[in-house]
Amino acid sequence: MREQIKAVATELLITHGVRGLRFGDIADRLDITRANIHYHFGTKKNLVEEVIDEYVQAAIAGLGEVWSDPGLTYQEKALRTMEFNRGRYTKFNTGSRTGRSWSLISRMRLETDQLSDEARAKLRQFTLEIETYINDAVVRAQKNGELSPSAPVRDIAIQLIAIVDSAGSITQDGGSFDRLEHLYTAYLHIIDHAYGTGRGAAKRPVLAAGS
């Protein structure tokens, strides 16, 4: 039952935020009592903290598999990250031209004043982990000859870090996934054109429609 409660709470937090999360709504969805939720989690604060922690750890683990894979080029890692985002986006959006909230991390950043210090720390952890993954990947790409020796490693990394870290907000602001896809593919096109050596990927990135 704990897992079912957290699954519903995750969905409601993404769609309605902390202020809109009510034990009564969770109870109605699962056909249980609010007392049952209190039994498992005690308070709303505890439930929110646990949901955020598990969501962040799952996101870090999923992206970590991509960025730590020695068999993927830098471009392939970036494109797989885009598809990771797309997978989560489609759980809350039909088609690619809607901008409903789909990222718990982005949604919770809008309500940090409603979160505990522990929950805010988890959101920061996501940013730090992604930054480490991408920084290390750019360094490896340069050492492997995918990027030229003159490539500005930190500058290349920071641009993609910003895209990955803000993916949820980008789709909401743009009203579709197309905007996020364009940012990913345009970024890769520019990096490949400016610093690529021809060893970075099996095929060149293709710009999204409308570019």
Mean pLDDT within 139-164: 97
Give per-residue pLDDT as tens, 47-84. Answer: 999 999 999 999 999 999 999 999 999 999 999 999 99
Tally helices (H) and strands (E) across the chain.
10, 0
Give per-residue pLDDT as tens, 152-189. Answer: 999 999 999 999 999 999 999 999 999 999 999 999 99
Per-residue b or e along 189-202, where b marks 16 or more CB atoms closer than 10 Å to that residue's CB: bebbeebbeeebbe
Identify which has the larger pLDDT, 154 or 97.
154
What is the three-class DSSP state of 115? coil
The structure's pTM equals 0.90
Model confidence band, residue 205 (pLDDT cutoffs 50, 70, 90):
very low
Q: Which pLDDT belongs to residue 200? A: 63
Q: Is 92 exposed, middle or buried (0-12, 13-18, 19+ CB in 10 A)?
A: middle
| CATH code 1.10.357.10 for 48-195 | yes
Q: What span, in angstroms and rounded, lies between the C-alpha atoms of 59 and 67?
A: 12
Domain spans of the chain? 48-195
Q: Which pLDDT belongs to residue 119? A: 98
Tokens of 206: 């293709």
- 141 and 150 Cβ atoms separated by less than 8 Å: no
